[in-house]
Amino acid sequence: MSEEPLVGPELRRRLSISLLAGIPLFVAYEYGVAATAAAGDPLRNSSELLLSQLIELAGGGAGWRYLGLVIVLAIAGLRAALQRWPLGEGAIWSLLEGAGLGLVLGPLMMLLLGLLGWLPGEQLISGGSGAGPGIEYMALVVGGAVWEELLFRFVLYAAVLAVVASLAKPFVSEEGPPELLGEVLAVLLTSLAFAAAHLESVLSWLGKGGEAYDFDLFAWRAFAGVALAVIARTRGLGVAIWTHAIFNVGLALGSGPGVFLIEPR
């Protein structure tokens, strides 16, 4: 009996499809890195920098970041081709769905946090790095979303799920660990980590960047992290990547998320 083809969210939740959907953002990010370096003001996304440093600690040089990325994307493309997954239904629709969600995420968060009295207002508007919405800066802001999603909604999320499953295993029946508990903890912990990763006290060891702690601003980041985590788990990582990217466009045009861009030391 042949396996039924994957469609809809089941297809878009595949990591290979998500990575292929993020190719334009990978390209945009690398352009932004090269352009700012050529202009004498090198900027990199802190999530990409952290993941790259982990590769270097494992023994790989700086060039391994590019080679590793090409290899991973090639494997993703090969897997999608072998499985005959339709890219229109998978990668392209991830882009379209994510763009739509990205357009409504900001207004919905403003409404919700406004009702709670936690809307950051001027703090968010002044939160940028001052680089301005030039094309190089915009490429970094938009392209950086793919690295942030890989770090927080894939690597860290999977790590939390693995830890919860390992700790809970001795206390549960043979049916397995409480998956709902793991999912809830993963959403909460990765969202708090996402918000904390914007703070100057956290980013200072990577280089210049970050913002001073402010409760309203921290709540804004954390709520965004919750929304993106839910989107990643229900609609697919590729959808979350593009939601984040379009969400960042609005921030860059109106309030600059430059705190996630740092100048490597």
Tens-digit pLDDT profile for residues 119-158: 886 656 544 444 456 888 889 989 999 999 999 999 999 9
In this predicted structure, what is the pLDDT of residue 1?
A: 38
Residue 265 in domain: no
Confidence grade of residue 108 (pLDDT, cut at 50, 70, 90): very high
Domain interval for residue 169: 8-256
Six-digit token pair at 262?
A: 């740092």
Mean per-residue pLDDT, 162-179? 72
Which residues share a beta bridge with 146? none
Between 13-27, 45-59, 215-229, the lowest mean confidence (pLDDT) is in: 45-59
Residue 261 in domain: no
Residues 23 and 28: their CA atoms lie apart, in Å, by: 9
Mean per-residue pLDDT, 58-84? 82
Highest mean pLDDT out of 177-181, 192-196, 253-257: 192-196
Residue 78 in domain: yes
Residue 192 in domain: yes
Residues 141 and 246: their CA atoms lie apart, in Å, by: 10
E strands, the chain, are: 44-45, 207-208, 261-264
Residue 99 in domain: yes
Average pLDDT along the chain: 85
Confidence grade of residue 50 (pLDDT, cut at 50, 70, 90): confident
In this predicted structure, what is the pLDDT of residue 2?
A: 41
CA distances from 64 to 51, 68, 167 (A): 11, 5, 34
Amino acid residing at 256 = G
Give the total number of structural domains in the chain: 1
Highest mean pLDDT out of 3-17, 44-58, 103-117, 204-218: 103-117
Is the pLDDT at 244 greater than 90? The verdict is: yes
Residue 94 in domain: yes
Residue 211: phi and psi, rounded to 5, are: -135, 155
Higher pLDDT, 189 or 203: 189
Residue 184 in domain: yes
Residue 118 in domain: yes
Contact of 96 with 190, CB cutoff 8 Å: no
Is the pLDDT at 259 greater than 70? The verdict is: no
